[in-house]
Copies of this chain bind each other. A is one copy, B any other.
Amino acid sequence: MSLLSAVRADASRDVLRSLRSICDEQGLAELAARLADLGDLVRWDMKDFESALNALPARSAEQNVVTSSALHLIARGGKRLRPMCVALASRVGSGFSDQAREMGVAVELVHCATLLHDDVIDESEQRRGAPAARMLYGNAASIFAGDWLLVEALRRVRVARVEGTLDRLLAIIEEMIFAEALQLANRGKIDTRRESYFKVVEGKTAALFRWAMYAGGRAGGLDESTCKTLEDYGTHLGMAFQLIDDWLDYAGDEQATGKALFTDLREGKMTYPLLHAYEQDASIGTLLGEILGADEGDPARTATLHDALKDALQRTGALDACRALALSHADQAASVLSPLPDSRAIEALLTVAQATVHREA
């Protein structure tokens, strides 16, 4: 194994380790112990997954700006939460197989494809604590790199021939695109409709978690009805995950997330804390309008407006409400699994749901 792939294989362990240390600090000793068990259960699955992801360039004829863009993003690691869902869902069934590994690679590639295109669209400069691929290789290379990863993901799902997975993945990618379209249309607008927010989040985030659970379950030989249960878990997990993402954008530690605070707002996105704050006090709309219309070249003014917004979020309890809703989705994720017989994999899925709400990156 090359040094690089050894480093990568440790990425998921590192994530678990950092989650564990957070739990220790916050006195969540039980969760820390559960995470240790989760780590033991999927460590080799995730190593297998990382090796397969690592072998990606060998499938392309040559190194070029497109493969370099894609590999730059992939090599930065990330949480690998979607492939972990695939691995655990497969273990609810007959276990982690080559087919499950390929589903895991596919879901990570689709995720990376959307990040590459999103970074071009949002003109993002940073991703995963490093320069975004487009800053190194240009926008054009990132557009093609996203196209490549999408096609590569579909090819893998096609070759693995796990029943139902290809049709659903095609449908889900379409769902993701239309959620992005809706987000794009709402950009910079103070859209206070809950249904707009939830429609975007279900499409852009929850849908792919749903597929990860379905594909893993199917690869593990589970029937449609059990997979439907796993899908429901995936939807709630995805919602919880996105709500914590929204929360981190206002309350997170920039060092840990590798992303500047207020990024969503700068990109004109109405996230849950803003939605809640507006519902509590509609006068916040004026402040949001001022922030969206503010001159980027006046950092003092921006800082004043951001401080006012932080106060407003505090005053209206918006950040706590966001976490509470995330927690509620994590609870729902756990409770939909209750009809399934208890097992180490099911316990691990409960742990993932709980840990998702406590993550700090």
Contacts and interface: CB of A to CB of B under 8 A. Distances in A.
A175 to B, nearest CB: 9
A308 B217 CA distance: 66
A184 B151 contact: no
Contacts of A65: 181, 184-185
Question: Sorted from nearest, which 5 A-B pairs have the closest CB atoms?
Answer: A66-B181, A121-B140, A64-B181, A155-B170, A148-B177
A173 interface: yes
A158 interface: yes
A212 to B, nearest CB: 18
Interface of A: 60-62, 64-67, 117, 120-121, 139-141, 143-144, 146-148, 150-152, 154-155, 158, 166-167, 170-171, 173-174, 177-178, 180-182, 184-185
A139 B120 CA distance: 9
A294 B119 CA distance: 31
A54 B148 CA distance: 28
Contact of A184 (B120, B141, B147, B158): B141
Given A60-B178, A155-B171, 15 more contacts: A61-B178, A64-B185, A65-B181, A65-B184, A66-B177, A66-B184, A120-B139, A141-B184, A144-B181, A147-B147, A147-B173, A148-B174, A148-B178, A150-B150, A155-B174
Contact of A177 (B147, B154, B182): B147
A154 B151 CA distance: 10
A182 B166 CA distance: 30
21 contacts: A61-B178, A62-B178, A64-B185, A65-B185, A66-B177, A66-B181, A117-B143, A120-B139, A121-B139, A121-B143, A140-B184, A141-B181, A144-B184, A147-B147, A147-B150, A148-B177, A150-B151, A151-B174, A151-B177, A154-B154, A155-B174
Nearest to A156: B170
Nearest to A157: B170
